């Protein structure tokens, strides 16, 4: 299991964890859900224009890393 403490965001940022390598997504997701937490995963990497011409987000298939946020909608 990955040590999430090394990816912990500073207290003044909204993300809980950031810049986690994408190959750790399944293990991080399983760990957080097993502990009863509900989080949102935002993918980071190249923005390839999947949403209009400006490329407003990164798709999972293009991601090289991800950030974790508390899910305020759950």
0.75 exceeded by the pTM?
yes
> How many domains are contained in the chain?
1
* Domain-embedded: residue 65: yes
pLDDT at site 20:
97
pLDDT at site 47:
74
Which one is predicted more confidently, 36 or 69?
69
* Domain-embedded: residue 3: no
* Domain-embedded: residue 32: yes
Chain segment 7-34, per-residue pLDDT in tens:
999 999 999 999 999 999 999 999 888 8
The parent domain of residue 29 ranges over 15-70
Cα distances (angstroms) measured from residue 45 to each of 7, 29, 36: 16, 19, 28
């Amino acid at each position: 299991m990955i040590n999430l403490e090394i990816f912990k965001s500073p207290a003044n940022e909204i993300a809980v964890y950031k810049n986690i390598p994408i190959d750790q997504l399944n293990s991080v997701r399983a760990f957080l859900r097993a502990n009863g937490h509900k989080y949102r995963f935002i993918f980071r990497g190249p923005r390839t224009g999947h949403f209009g011409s400006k490329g407003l987000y990164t798709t999972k298939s293009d991601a090289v890393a991800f950030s974790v946020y508390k899910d305020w909608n759950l």
